[in-house]
Amino acid sequence: MVAPSLLDLLLLILLGLGAGWLGATVGIGGGVVIVPALVIVFGIDIKVAVAASLVAVIATSTTAGSVYLGRGITNMRLGMTLEIATTVGGMTGGLVAAFVPSNVIAALFATVVAISAGVLLWHAANPPVRTVQAPTNGTVGWEDPGALSGAYFDHARGGMVHYRARRIGLGSAVSLLAGSVSGMLGVGGGFLKVPAMNVLMDVPVRVAAASNFMIGVTAAASVFIYFERGFVEPLVAVPVALGVVGGSLIATMMAGTTSAPKVKRILALVLAAVAIEMALRAFGVGVGV
Amino acid sequence: MSEREAVAGSEASHRLIRRVLRGGLLVGVTLMVAGLAIDIAMGTSISVPMPLASFLDTGSIGDRTMALGVLSLALTPVVRVAALVLVWRREKDTPFVAVGLAVLVILVVGMLAGRA
């Protein structure tokens, strides 16, 4: 049970604003920021924090999706295909978490995230060469029916970028891992899926981030469990969610104005911070959750 | 399929899903803002757990309104998956109808597992 003051409610909204901006900018749900902040700064129980974070993940993905869908960047077939593995992983992770020591989970998390950050930084420094064509008749982009391919208009490069997702099996395997980590730690999983789609599946980072709005589906499945068990506390979850909606809207209005390498570097920075926090937690120096 | 047809198909399905998302967001945010305003106006300062099975009988009016908003928001992604299945069925994109149905089945299994 939590008794937030008006100042606390304002700070919770501000936390949501920051997490929402970050989530929509780099394609993660914001949970990696919200859970530690709620536990460390506000002293909120970890399960209540995770429940609030899951609501925030849904808010981020719904807001970002409602904006990105108008820009021809999103590939819903790609997002849905990976969602099969992610939701299965989410359920599996939730079950496995009960039998694995927390410090082992945290160490695993830190390792996976640190590797992802390194790979992403390397990729930001060595971007793949893509063919850019002039847009026709004001087209902003599309996804091809019956395939995991499409095209989008890249503002930074001034032309249409065509892509085709490759290595679906490998991408699904990482999605399974992302879902498992999500189920174990209560974060969105986009911090693994977006780099995987970009680096392993050869999907442009902007398409990967936009298509990853499907993580709301995974979070929705989890949040019903938390709701069922009484961990959703409205005066915690709602201010954060409202802030997240505002932050996501600001970020999606700014999308396309930053270059892909810059987005990748922001994501790598976030991943490095998460890796350090999780490593500290694994060795008992962290936030004590 | 030509580029023109692919663009038209993408725009139509994206428009529909955008409506679903905006509708869910509008309903959810309206209820959450209303509930939060009621709680602040009535001086309710304690946040209480809201179990799904009894949330309509638990907490203040503001808390219940906010919980309803959270529930509306949480259902939006599920409705989105169902809508995509219908869109792809209309487009006769059978492989992706199967993909969408598989996700819906996993979601329902997950929800039932939560109740167990």
Question: Considering its fold, how many domains does chain B have in total?
Answer: 1
pLDDT for the residue A36: 74
Confidence of residue B85 (pLDDT cuts 50, 70, 90): very high
Judged by average pLDDT, the poorest of A193-202, A234-243, B32-41, B77-86 is: A193-202
Residue with tokens 């598989």: B102
pLDDT for the residue A216: 81
User: Average of pLDDT values for A64-85?
Assistant: 84
Give percent above pLDDT 70 in chain B.
77
Give the residue, B45 or A235, on which the prediction is more confident. A235
Provide DSSP, chain B.
--HHHHHHHHHHHHHHHHHHHHHHHHHHHHHHHHHHHHHHHTT---B----GGGGGGSS-HHHHHHHHHHHHHHHHHHHHHHHHHHHHHHTT-HHHHHHHHHHHHHHHHHHHHHH-
Is the pLDDT confidence value at A287 over 60? no
Q: How many CB atoms lie within 10 A of CB B58?
A: 15
Give the residue, A90 or A250, on which the prediction is more confident. A250
B95 contacts chain A (CB < 8 A): yes
Confidence of residue A126 (pLDDT cuts 50, 70, 90): low
Q: Is A259 exposed, middle or buried (0-12, 13-18, 19+ CB in 10 A)?
A: middle
Residues A264-283 have pLDDT tens digits of: 677 778 778 777 876 776 67
What are the sequence ranges of the domains in chain A? Answer: 6-282
pLDDT for the residue B16: 86
Phi, psi at B93, each rounded to 5°: -95, 75
When mean pLDDT is compared over A17-26, A150-159, A214-223, B68-77, the highest value belongs to B68-77
Residues of chain B numbered 25-44 and touching chain A (CB < 8 Å): 25, 28-29, 32-33, 35-36, 39-40, 44
Q: Is the dihedral of CA B53, B56, B58, B63 positive or negative?
A: positive
Three-class SS of residue A209? helix
Question: Which one of B3, B5, B10 makes the best mutation probe of the A interface by having the most chain A beta carbons within 10 Å?
Answer: B10
Interface touch A221/B81, C-beta < 8 Å: no
Please give, rounded to a whole number of angstroms, the shortest distance from the CA of B17 to a CA of chain A.
8
Give the residue, B41 or A229, on which the prediction is more confident. B41
- Give the ipTM of the model, two decimals please: 0.88
Give the residue, B70 or B59, on which the prediction is more confident. B70
Do residues B83 and B20 touch, judged by C-beta distance below 8 A? yes
pLDDT for the residue A288: 39
Three-class SS of residue A66? helix
Average pLDDT of the residues of chain A: 77
pLDDT for the residue A198: 86
- Domain range spanning residue B20? 3-115
pLDDT for the residue A107: 72
Provide DSSP, A67-98.
HHTTTT---HHHHHHHHHHHHHHHHHHHHHHT
User: Average of pLDDT values for A216-228?
Assistant: 78
